């Protein structure tokens, strides 16, 4: 099923024409109504009249997270604060959060793209959507909520946390679609197993998982343990929230809703545009947002774009699953390492749960990488000799994946922090 055939299956030329028209409008609106953009465009020597093709977007300056943060709280709004009907913020774990303001039209847009996402995951009015994303200033909860209501599904606004209650409601209400972070889905699976609730006692058919990075191996694990089809959703508060891109049943990349969000890939070091099919940092421009248009936002997420028609019928450009962040990318002894590579290595080992934490230190002027992995209770009660063997096995798998020697330590089951929001996978003690 496709929510909006006309928009989602648009011919390539029509799409380009629409994108250009919308780009010209949004650039003009930003320039005329947001002092930050007026100043930034003037400094770059570019004006709205210079945008005559999609390629001309490259003349425009980038917007960074810092730029948005410096405009805290309402400096990036392109309308009167009275026309803003809802605000959200990023988590603000490092300094002030960034604020996102929505007019009524922006909320309608958000509902539309989320309706496309949930329909892509097989959702319709007969579904019961257990929404375990947090409600509040975080965009996860309400974004899913608006989309679920738009498609006429029953939304269960349970929000994050209280796992025992989640499990009870899931069984009693017969939830069919689960929406949460992939690490929380794994945690739910663990607790369900502990409680002796097999997947056959549940009614789940699909999961819409996002807000953090995960791997194909993790998808297999979640699908097996929860007996559902696990799909990837992508979004960010600065652009709208969840609903920027979503995977279809092909599970081969995420469709970006590119009639509303215009994607580019750049080289994060040279800042030059990378041609289609090349890997780099995703940059997004909101083509239709009123309250807070964002031009060329540097997401820091590393991916690849693949245009063309998908077997599902959609022509929305696809992006590969995020494999890292340009600011999360670790350089260990000159080698680039992404946490997702460690996760992939761990998931290749039978019987190991991918609960891990990466600790980087530089004790003797040389980077050292320690990976703490939770052992299963069975393993922990086992002989020391066996434990040593498992440790070495993990070290070898990680070496194969990243080409570096690391120290693995096995820690007690359930001892690493469990996230009900985003997992903290890396602790960098180097003070670089």
Residues that bind Zn ion (CB under 5 A): 248, 250, 310, 312, 314
- Comparison of 151 and 360: residue with beta carbon closer to Zn ion: 151
- How far is Cα 404 from Cα 44, in angstroms, rounded to an integer? 43
Considering only CA atoms, give the Rg of the chain. 22
Strand partners, 428: 360
Tell me the closest approach of the beta carbon of residue 247 to Zn ion, in angstroms. Answer: 8
Q: How far is the CB of 124 from Zn ion (least distance, A)?
A: 17
Which is nearer to Zn ion, 145 or 255 (by Cβ)? 255
For residues 128 and 255, which CB has a smaller minimum distance to Zn ion in the complex? 255
Cβ closer to Zn ion: 312 or 406?
A: 312
Nearer to Zn ion, 180 or 248 (CB): 248
The answer to whether the CB of 165 falls within 8 A of the CB of 158 is: yes
**Whose Cβ is closer to Zn ion: residue 314's or residue 353's?**
314
What's the closest the beta carbon of residue 310 comes to Zn ion, in angstroms?
Answer: 3
Q: Report the distance separating Cα 309 and Cα 12, nearest Å.
A: 9
* Distance in angstroms (rounded) separating the CA atoms of residues 429 and 432: 8
The nearest distance, CB 116 to Zn ion, in angstroms, is 11
Question: Whole-angstrom Cα distance, residue 406 to residue 368?
Answer: 7
State how far the alpha carbon of 49 is from the alpha carbons of 23, 26, 30, 305, in Å. Answer: 11, 12, 13, 28
Query: CB 326: neighbour CB atoms within 10 A?
Result: 17
Looking at beta carbons only, is 119 or 341 nearer to Zn ion? 119
Asked whether the beta carbons of 423 and 353 are under 8 A apart, the reply is: no
Least Cβ distance, residue 78 to Zn ion (angstroms): 33
Smallest separation, CB 255 to Zn ion (Å): 6
DSSP classification of residue 20:
H
Alpha carbon distance 121, 127 (integer Å): 11
15-20: long-range contacts at Cβ-Cβ below 8 A with a sequence spacing of 24 or more? 15/258, 15/259, 15/315, 16/54, 18/259, 19/54, 19/258, 19/259, 19/262, 19/287, 20/51, 20/53, 20/54
Which of 280, 257, 382 is closest to 3 using CA atoms?
257
| Tokens matching residue 369 | 């990488």
CA distance 168 to 89: 31
> Residue 65 or 116: which CB sits closer to Zn ion?
116
In whole angstroms, the minimum distance from the beta carbon of 91 to Zn ion comes to 31
Smallest separation (angstroms) from Zn ion to the CB of 301: 20
């Amino acid at each position: 099923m496709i929510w909006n055939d006309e928009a989602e299956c648009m011919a390539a030329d029509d799409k380009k024409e629409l994108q250009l028209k919308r780009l010209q409008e949004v650039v003009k609106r930003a320039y005329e109504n947001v002092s930050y953009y007026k100043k930034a465009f003037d400094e770059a020597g570019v004006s709205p009249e210079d945008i005559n093709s999609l390629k001309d977007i490259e003349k425009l300056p980038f917007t960074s997270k810092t730029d948005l943060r410096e405009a805290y709280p309402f400096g990036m709004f392109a309308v009167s604060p009275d026309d803003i009907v809802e605000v959200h913020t990023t988590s603000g774990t490092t300094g002030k959060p960034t604020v996102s303001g929505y007019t009524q039209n922006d909320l309608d847009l958000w509902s539309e793209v989320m309706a496309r996402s949930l329909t892509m995951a097989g959702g319709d009015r007969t579904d019961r959507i257990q929404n375990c994303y947090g409600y509040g200033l975080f965009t996860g909860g309400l974004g899913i909520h608006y989309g679920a209501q738009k498609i006429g599904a029953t939304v269960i606004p349970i929000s994050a946390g209280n796992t025992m209650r989640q499990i009870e409601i899931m069984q009693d209400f017969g939830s069919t679609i689960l929406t949460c972070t992939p690490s929380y889905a794994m945690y739910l699976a663990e607790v369900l197993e502990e409680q002796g609730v097999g997947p056959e006692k549940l009614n789940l058919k699909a999961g819409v998982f996002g807000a953090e990075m995960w791997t194909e191996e993790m998808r297999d694990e979640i699908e097996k343990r929860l007996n559902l089809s696990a799909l990837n959703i992508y979004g960010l508060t600065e652009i709208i929230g969840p609903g920027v891109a979503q995977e279809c049943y092909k599970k081969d990349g995420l469709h970006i809703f590119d009639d509303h969000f215009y994607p580019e890939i750049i080289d994060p070091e040279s800042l030059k545009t990378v041609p289609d099919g090349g890997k780099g940092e995703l940059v997004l421009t909101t083509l239709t947002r009123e309250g807070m248009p964002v031009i060329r936002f540097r997401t820091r997420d590393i991916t690849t774009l693949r245009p063309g028609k998908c077997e599902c019928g959609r022509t929305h450009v696809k992006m590969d699953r995020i494999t890292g962040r340009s600011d999360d990318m670790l350089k260990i002894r000159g080698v680039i390492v992404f946490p997702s590579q460690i996760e992939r290595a761990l998931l290749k080992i039978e019987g190991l749960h991918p609960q891990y934490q990466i600790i980087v230190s530089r004790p003797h002027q040389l980077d050292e990488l320690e990976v703490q992995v939770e052992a299963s209770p069975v393993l922990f009660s086992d002989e020391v000799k066996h434990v040593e063997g498992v440790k070495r096995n993990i070290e070898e798998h990680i070496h194969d994946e990243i080409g570096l020697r690391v120290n693995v330590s096995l820690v007690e089951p359930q001892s690493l922090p469990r996230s009900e929001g985003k997992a903290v996978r890396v602790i960098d003690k180097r003070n670089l």
